[in-house]
Amino acid sequence: MTTPAVTDGTPLYAQGQHVLSRALAFGILGMTSLGIVFGAIDWAQKPEFAPLPFVALFGVIAFAATRGILRARPIFGSPTGLTVGAGARSRTIPWANVGQPQIPPSSMNPVFRTYYVEIAGESERLYFYGGRREVELIESFRARAAKPTGG
């Protein structure tokens, strides 16, 4: 197995899955919004209490699914560390603080495989979409950062 090439700004997430998951999440939100609007119109014409708990449950499930899909972030690697975000809101985490990539038990979908890394000193995990290639890249960056520079 060959080690993938690493450069500054190397994407460490599956870009296709990331874009597709965003489209899916916003589709879920759009359909949920339409359902709630049409449900409200229908309810205004014939007010009944019975469907209200189901509308609320539907909204909660859609929100939870969307939140789960949108928690994955784009991440990039460089010799100095793992970069999260872009532009002024980006931050770089030194490789010494980045844990090994792991698959959460909730990631059962092979198409939208979610991984996470734990960051030393932070309580929240950093989720990203990926596969074997992305895990190998992260491990390559971590291994290079752990090697002492000798002379």
Per-residue pLDDT reduced to its tens digit, 51-107: 778 878 888 888 888 888 899 999 999 999 999 987 788 899 999 999 999 999 888
Same domain (yes/no): 65, 86: no
Q: Structure pTM? A: 0.79
The answer as to whether 2 is a domain residue is: no
Residues in a beta bridge with 127 = 116
Same domain (yes/no): 79, 142: yes
DSSP helix/strand/coil, 104: coil
User: Of 54, 69, 84, at which residue does a domain stop?
Assistant: 69
Q: How many structural domains comprise the chain?
A: 2
DSSP helix/strand/coil, 53: helix
**Residue 42, domain extent:** 17-69
pLDDT > 90: percent of the chain: 48
